[in-house]
Amino acid sequence: MEKLVSIVIPAYNAEKFIGECLEKILNQDYKNIEVIVSNDGSTDRTFEIAQEYKNKDSRVKIYSQENSGSSVARINGARQAKGEYIMFLDSDDFFEEGAIKRLIEVADKYNPDLIKFRLKTYPAKVPQAIIIPSQKSEVFIQKEEFKDKIYPLFFNSYSLNPNSTLMVKKSCFSIDDVDSYRKLRFAEDLKLSLELFDKAQSVVVLSDVLYNYVSNPLSTTGSDNMDKILYNLDNFVKVYTKLYEYMKKWNMDTKENIKNLDFKVLREVAIFYTKILNSTNTEYVKNNREKIKKIIYSDIVNNAIKNLSEDDFDKSDKYYNSLILIYKNQI
């Protein structure tokens, strides 16, 4: 009998996208699916549109919660799942044709806890880099190999971050503290991926590009809203503090790994600070300088400054000036 796959769609005020999203997923050639629209307190017609599809197709289910953020919607939606495997789909994105069928072939072959695949941006159709360098097709990795082949990717790249490029076995989906995800808006994918990979006993990493991420130039991470920029920076610090904790838990806290992660953290903070410097809301920046400094100079940033030298920064990096200002405590 074919495995049941649960697709969880976190949706907040997604009336412009949810109909087309459901059309595409219900028309996948793999039919043994349930589609859970996890309605995150929407105030538009998201629920009503989802209900119309539920009335037409019994595979559609709806779970509603008060607005708590997309990660809480994913987690609570996954808790309702009846499938052997769970997947996540954002309401404005879509899977490649044949994606679920391909993933089930892999699941039948290896019986892994996780399957990790690649995405491409849409409409530009730019594919994500190969997750494991030099990989050609599919790689089965067991827990004892994670320290060499999986965990370093969290410190050296962003390839394991997206939840939407994961198929997760329902039996190993267990999240200890859902409240810690509430209202996270930046780097929340990384936090959930850390928990899932930490608990998994096996993973298959695919070179297949199976997910289409629809880029949104008006996203909050790219806006000039200073409150949102600082909120996202605070989210980043909280999630990356957890990443340092996992590094220690996995006995991966070597000097090289710490240095790689320190540089990654400082560069990300420099990106945020560059947005602050370039903000047109100069009055806000002037009046909130101490608040900005307090968020930027978190424990992980201060530790990174101690561990790195000015020579570690690439002068050709477009965020170099912000890196130096942060490094020298000159903001």
Q: Are residues 98 and 205 in the same domain?
A: yes
The pLDDT score that the predictor gives to residue 108 is 97
Collect contacts of 41-46 with beta carbons under 8 A, ≥24 apart. Answer: 41/12, 41/65, 41/66, 41/67, 41/68, 42/11, 42/12, 42/13, 42/14, 42/15, 42/67, 43/13, 44/13, 44/14, 44/15, 45/15, 46/11, 46/12, 46/13, 46/14, 46/15, 46/18, 46/91
Tell me which residue range forms the domain holding 10: 5-214
Q: How would you write the pLDDT of the chain (331 residues) with one tens digit per residue?
A: 799 999 999 999 999 999 999 999 999 999 999 999 999 999 999 999 999 999 999 999 999 999 999 999 999 999 999 999 999 999 999 999 999 999 999 999 999 999 999 999 999 899 999 999 888 899 999 999 999 999 999 998 999 999 999 999 999 998 989 999 998 899 999 999 999 999 999 999 999 999 999 987 554 444 568 899 999 999 999 999 999 999 999 999 999 999 999 999 999 999 999 999 998 888 988 899 999 999 999 999 999 999 999 999 999 999 999 999 999 999 8
The pLDDT score that the predictor gives to residue 224 is 67
Token code pair at residue 249: 């838990």
The pLDDT score that the predictor gives to residue 220 is 44
Q: Which of 157, 184, 214 is the last residue of a domain?
A: 214
> Torsions phi, psi of 241, nearest 5?
-60, -40
Task: Answer yes or no: pTM beyond 0.85.
Answer: yes
Q: Are residues 24 and 167 in the same domain?
A: yes
Q: Which of 198, 214, 230 is the last residue of a domain?
A: 214
Q: Are residues 9 and 101 in the same domain?
A: yes
Q: Are residues 129 and 235 in the same domain?
A: no
Q: Are residues 278 and 194 in the same domain?
A: no
Q: Which of 174, 198, 214 is the last residue of a domain?
A: 214
Q: Are residues 143 and 253 in the same domain?
A: no
> Torsions phi, psi of 164, nearest 5?
-70, -10
Give the total number of structural domains in the chain.
2
Q: Are residues 138 and 267 in the same domain?
A: no
The pLDDT score that the predictor gives to residue 298 is 96
Q: Are residues 243 and 159 in the same domain?
A: no
Q: Are residues 111 and 232 in the same domain?
A: no
Token code pair at residue 327: 């490094």
Q: Are residues 199 and 89 in the same domain?
A: yes
The pLDDT score that the predictor gives to residue 221 is 46
Q: Are residues 36 and 116 in the same domain?
A: yes
- 233: Cβ contacts below 8 Å, ≥ 6 apart: 186, 269, 272, 295, 296
Identify the CATH number of the domain in which residue 73 sits. Answer: 3.90.550.10
The pLDDT score that the predictor gives to residue 1 is 77
